[in-house]
């Protein structure tokens, strides 16, 4: 029984893995927010940097989560940081 439960959990996780960064179809605003999120900025800091409202930043972050497969802000920030690191290594 435990093996089946673990197998089902692993299979479910594999189905929800984030797509590769090149496959994300992001708007310009989403790309900007994602880049700053990857640098560790708060919503207020991102808003100030991009001259946007905090609500707009929150909307971009909410839209980014399903597009990237991130389940929360922390995972989204980790994905963003990884993408930034990969870009600078190229």
Whole-number pLDDT of residue 11? 63
pTM: 0.70
Q: Which of 49, 16, 53 is nearest to 35 (CA)?
A: 49
Cβ(26)–Cβ(64) below 8 Å: yes
Q: What pLDDT, on a 0 to 100 scale, did the predictor assign at position 20?
A: 47
Higher pLDDT among residues 25 and 54, named by residue: 54
Query: What would the mean pLDDT of 27-40 be, rounded to a whole number?
Result: 92
Q: Is 36 helix (H, G, I), strand (E, B) or coil?
A: helix
Phi, psi of 20 (to 5 degrees): -60, 145
pLDDT in the model for residue 25: 85
Q: What is the pLDDT of residues 48-60, one digit of tens each?
A: 999 999 999 999 9
Phi and psi for 48 in degrees, rounded to 5? -65, -40
């Amino acid at each position: 029984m435990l093996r089946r439960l673990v197998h089902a959990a692993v299979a479910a996780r594999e189905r929800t893995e984030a797509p590769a960064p090149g496959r994300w179809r992001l708007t310009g605003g989403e790309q900007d927010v994602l880049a700053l999120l990857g640098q560790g900025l708060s919503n207020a800091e991102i808003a100030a940097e991009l001259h946007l409202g905090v609500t707009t930043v929150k909307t971009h972050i909410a839209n980014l989560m399903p597009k990237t497969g991130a389940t929360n802000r922390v995972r989204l920030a980790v994905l963003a940081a990884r993408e930034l690191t990969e870009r600078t290594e190229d």
